[in-house]
Amino acid sequence: MNQPDGQGYITVSLPRPLVERIEARIRGTGFASPAAYVEYVLGEVLSDDPNPGDGFSPEDEEALKEKLRALGYLG
């Protein structure tokens, strides 16, 4: 799963048999590579995560809440 060309990407190693199974699965599907398929599947899995982590610090979160409230997005 080597994708060194995009700066937003890092390399993750997968066992060869798994990669071979992915290659068989994506044949003819439009997924350009096992990497593209793995990225898609993991994105799907992580979208369901109800607690996606810490985008904002607690203080920033409070300030942002007030701003969004003033803008009418919360109420």
Which of 14, 64 has the CB closer to other proteins? Answer: 64
- Estimate the share of the chain in helix, then strand, then coil, as percent rounded to the nearest 5: 50, 0, 50
Which of 20, 60 has the CB closer to other proteins? Answer: 60
Q: What minimum distance in Å lies between the beta carbon of 67 and other proteins?
A: 7
Residue 10 backbone class (left: φ over 0; alpha: ψ -120 to 50; beta: rest): beta
Q: What minimum distance in Å lies between the beta carbon of 73 and other proteins?
A: 5
The DSSP H or E segment spanning 55 is none
**Applying CB under 8 A, which residues contact other proteins?**
3, 5-9, 29-32, 36, 39-40, 42-44, 46-57, 60-61, 63-65, 67-75
Sole residue written with tokens 């044949």: 27
